Structure 1
Amino acid sequence: MLLRAEMEQKDQLTHCYAGPEDVACDVCTGRKRKADKSCLVCLVSYCEKHLQPHYGSPSFKNHKLVNPSKNLQENICSRHDEVMKIFCRTDQQSICYLCTMDEHKGHETVPAAAEMDEKQKKLQESRQQIHQRIQDQEKDVKLLQREVEAINVSADKAVEDSEKIFTELIRLLQERSSDVKQQIRSQQETEVSRVKDVQEKLQQEITELKRKDAELEQFSHTEDHTQFLLNYPSLPALSESTGSSSIIVRPLRHFKDITEAVSELRDKLQDVLRDSWTNIPGPVSSRVGVYLDHRAESRPDSLSLYLLALDF
């Protein structure tokens, strides 16, 4: 335990000594300790031990202590080797009291401490303005962030609504396509049945005519003229034929009409989609969420336009 305490004490002492990057105490002899403060009046840096007189003696009451500085010599006038405690406002530089009697004679001068106090006030005013500007811009950043969130929400809602509308439109088109297909097949069945009925009647007539022709052919081979003339009046008369003159060949116009109606529907849809698309608002510069909401409430229901186009 004793050895450990000695080692800790030694480390503390080593930590107190100034290194190459530290400001050394100007009073210490031998190995110098780290400076705790620098005095702008004495132009000397003191460690904690040698700084005590500045705290205890009234003689040092007006001395200005600052954090340790290696640049204390910059406070000495290079011409008169005196501490520069005066500020020349005319030339905007620090000077010593001898300079006021020499090249700065007649210039506007004030104590350096007073000039520093005034400039500190201006500095604080500038900082307050900067802080106010920061607060204002942070508010703007938050507003813009909320606008970004509103844009994203509005865009997601628009995508969702558009998908629902197009899904409904596709469903309606599929239903109408099924109706048209059913209509064509129904009309096809009706027409085919009508034609087959006529075809069957004609086939029956053909069969009957062939039978009669066979009878007539057999009768025509009768050699006995008495029998031929006797039976000739009893030959069956031909019934009225369902011939070509009574058959109405209807052109397949009705199927073409349906195709043309579907083509017209396609053209209407293309026109509606094109016209509706030109009404969709493009990029907006500000308050996008509110703008899109207003447009959504004011523009016509696109699905209604599609349904009108479907009603052919």
Structure 2
Amino acid sequence: MATSGSVLSADQFQCPICLDVLSEPVSTPCGHNFCSGCIKRSWDSAVVCQCPLCKETFFRRPALRVNTTLREVAELVRKQRDSGHDLTPAQPGDVPCDVCSGEGGSRLRALKSCLDCGTSFCTLHLELHQRAPALQRHMLSEPLADLEGRVCQKHRRPLELFCRDDHMCVCQFCTEGEHKNHSTVPLEEEGKDRKSLLNQTQVDLKSMIQERQEKISEIKQSVELSRVSVEAEAASISELFSVLVLVLERSRGNLQGALEARQHAVETQANALTAQLEQEIHTLQSRHTQLEELTHTHDHLHLLQVYASMCVLPPCRSWSLVSVWSYQDVNSLRPLVSRLEGLITREMDDLHTDFVPGPADGMGILGNCPGVPQRELKRVQQFTELSKVQQYAVDVTLDADSANTFLQLSEDRRQVCCGQRRQKLQDVGAGRFDRAACVLGSEAFAQRFYFQVAVGSKSSWDVGVASEAVTRKGKVKATPETGYWTVALRRGAGLVAKETNPVPLAAGAGLQMVGVFVDYPRGVVSFYDVTSMSHLYSFTGQRFTGRLRPLLSPGQREKGRNSAPLVISVDRPIT
């Protein structure tokens, strides 16, 4: 028979046929064990008798007898399994039973540790503590690997109290001696108080993590702003050099190289700061995880022993005054341009045919440079104007709750087209347009902002902005008086600005992208042909009384000829 110290595993006494614990076990001549009924049924249905495991053939059916010793062991295993006892062998990291001898099998995993006995017990050896009245008064805990550290070294009694005067864990006998008249409380009570303090430390850690994450976002925004500014200036330089290519081609590479070097310096600084912040976040998150584990631990002694070191915040750099230098000075190249102005003037003195003196109203170097073609100056002026307003570009999405039920929005809410039939949608919030095929943007602004809409080759559409409080029910007359500032394209009527009396606009046949810029403080709404970089129209002298929202109308389908969507885009044009 197996001893109480050995591990009886049901897998060791499993019938290979029925896969259950052996019942009335018999042994074949080849040495394998089976349930008596299982092997008999197997041979009754077979032509020849074979061992189901090793396939050894027996020309004469063996006479099988029940192995009584094996039957007793199998019955014991079956009873232990049916009783629900945890007979799992201890694995690496588990606390093993101190009573299991380990001979004939591995030691079982401990179910409880007795602080009075200083011993860990498996489910089998714990029964005496559950039955004997004297042992029932012992203090049991979850399995503990370090029982010696939980016993008072002086009295050999469990550490179950905390002395608040001496800040140490003590046993019951200590309170009758050197800790007499001291303020002592149960470990659980002190542990709960310390957990509340740990929670505050966690809050501080979360705040520090959030502060550093926000700093990373700020750095990335600075890098992006610097990149946008550099791209805008690089585009301006490219346009200027395309007009004055014979004079300035030799300098363009050096200027762009300087810009790239500055941007590289910004990105290098940002990468270094980001790496430091991410390292600090990793350290703080590690400490936060450790504290999270402590707040859920039942091991109050361990909590109190590491409390002092865990509540000290890791050493971190103060980031409140740290920022990334963002290159945004569009006039930084002006001294160099001024030096080149004299060279440009001298090179242009001999050119007169088809050239006129350039304007001097805000064109900077070109305004004082004779010999530049008028049409090229106008193109540069328009390009400069559009580049300036594009710095106010915002990310626009469409408000599905305001869309007419015939309109269909894309999943990212940046495209809208007119469907073939009305959708069954509820009217929520301020309501949706019920007759006008319009949709508003989700974002509202009371500041300067710019957005672009790709109109493609559509034959009918409306693009512009509207007051947030416009009436959305019934027939809509889109004019500034009713809170609408739009331009519209109609088949046969061309492009018009929808003033009280519509104003026809001259637009090139290649109008593909419309830019909308709102100068809220000045009361101006301007429209641009982004592809040709030309100004279309401006509503001026407006008095805005509330926030404005982008407005789009893809127009009727016109039997499929106008079914393409309007697409919101904030990408800059390629020039």
Structure number with the bigger relative contact order (C-alpha 8 A, sep ≥ 6) is 1
Give 1 or 2: higher strand fraction: 2
Higher helix share: 1
TM-score, normalization: structure 2? 0.28
